[in-house]
Structure 1
Amino acid sequence: MTDSRDVVRRLREGFAWRDTPVGVFADLSGWWRDPELLRMLGPSLAGLHADASPTVVAGIETRGLVLGPLAALPLGVGFVEVRKEYRVAGEGQRDGADPMLRAGTPPGYQDGGLTLIAPRRLFRPGDRVLLVDEWIETGAQASAVRRMVDEAGADWAGVAVIVAACPPEVGERLGVKALVTDDQLPG
């Protein structure tokens, strides 16, 4: 059993804001260095939506590809990676290859938006898909994944994140549950 107070304490201790020439960013590197926190993250994230009985966990590159499998293991379910299309552009689809689901974020998201992709065959009708990631602010990427899940005929179980920094209406619409909110992190 994971002690949620210990998880929150370790998240706070391992977190820092960093000033850079292009702005301030959240430095999560202390989280990845703490082996006990790494051990606790998967079960903690999985526990946020255990009542939704997910049948598969999805994660968006890059950090979702690490956190998703950590959460899938305690749930006893598989994992689907969601890629950013520009990172795999130029890899033409072979004849007979699985068709890809695609969904974009709004044009204003990250200076122009992006397209997320996943193999259609990995989201099955009747699946209950839990999206796992490290941080949510606007919900743009989670909304894109939800559209892919809907298109595949699967059901949305919600979003489990380490940090929620989104408006309440976004959290409610997407079913966001978090280990901490951004205002709980050291400032």
Structure 2
Amino acid sequence: MTLDEKGKQYLLESIRDIPDFPKPGIVFKDITTLLNNKEAYKFLMDHLEQRYKDMNLEYIAGLDARGFIFGAALADRLGIGFVPVRKKGKLPSTTVCEKYELEYGFDEVEIHIDAFDNKEGARVLIIDDLCATGGTANAACKLVTATKANLIEVCFLMNLKFLKGDEKIKQHAAVYSVLDI
């Protein structure tokens, strides 16, 4: 289930563009205006609930930090577990970690080694707000599969198609973007 053009336009209009942030030439897609618009946020969450309600998911893994906003709310709606994928050093128990490349250097994300209750084949959806170069989501895909869970799909509110980050992720699972930019 995908949104029609009218629904996509509605959501896109609820997201503010901030020119030259964080540096000149970048147009930042600010989702805070969607989040504080209760009708737009409900519309998005209703759509995601309808899309995923029959996929027999067991967990949603949300990427640090905006993926937590959508992932936890969707997990609650679906009556399933939520797993945070955090930046390195933020989780208190034994973790599995994955390094990924940034424009200038590297970063790491991690999940608890028992994030999916040690259940081999647990059905997992990864969610985040934006797919740019795909580095963080690609690392999260590797983490989910390292725990022997079954990665069903990776979902983004927005996908910056011109950066082709989704191509990396498609090596691991299907990708669904509510909005292609």
TM-score by length of 1: 0.79
User: What corresponds to 2:147 in structure 1?
Assistant: 152
Q: Deviations over 1:100-127 (max 9, x none)?
A: 0111112xx1421211011111123121
Identity within the alignment, %: 22
Deviation at 1:6, TM superposition (A): 5.8
2:137–2:169: 8 Å Cα contact kept in structure 1?
A: no
SS in 1 for 2:71: helix
User: What corresponds to 1:19 in structure 2?
Assistant: 19
1:68 counterpart = 2:66: no
SS in 2 for 1:156: strand
Q: 1:17 to 1:43 in 2, by over 3 A?
A: same
Q: 1:139 to 1:53 in 2, by over 3 A?
A: farther
Q: Which structure 1 segments of 5+ residues have no match?
A: 183-187
Q: Deviations over 1:1-54 (max 9, x none)?
A: xx7556423312112321236232222221112101222322322444445422
User: Aligned equivalents of 2:41 and 2:155: distance in 1?
Assistant: 15
Structure label with greater radius of gyration: 1
SS in 2 for 1:122: coil
User: Aligned equivalents of 1:48 and 1:133: distance in 2?
Assistant: 15
SS in 1 for 2:127: strand
Amino acid at match of 2:130: W
Deviation at 1:165, TM superposition (A): 1.9
Q: 1:129 aligns with which of 81, 104, 124?
A: 124
Q: Deviations over 1:43-80 (max 9, x none)?
A: 32244444542210010111011110122123221100
1:116–1:145: 8 Å Cα contact kept in structure 2?
A: yes
Amino acid at match of 1:9: Q
User: What corresponds to 1:8 in structure 2?
Assistant: 8
User: What corresponds to 1:113 in structure 2?
Assistant: 106
What is the aligned-residue RMSD (CA, Å)?
2.5
User: What corresponds to 1:53 in structure 2?
Assistant: 56
User: Aligned equivalents of 1:16 and 1:147: distance in 2?
Assistant: 32
Q: 2:38 aligns with which of 35, 38, 46?
A: 35
RCO greater where, 1 or 2, for CA within 8 Å and sep 6 or more?
A: 1
TM-score by length of 2: 0.81
Q: Which structure 2 segments of 5+ residues have no match?
A: none
Q: Which moved more, 1:125-134 or 1:169-178?
A: 169-178
SS in 2 for 1:114: strand
Q: 1:47 to 1:143 in 2, by over 3 A?
A: farther
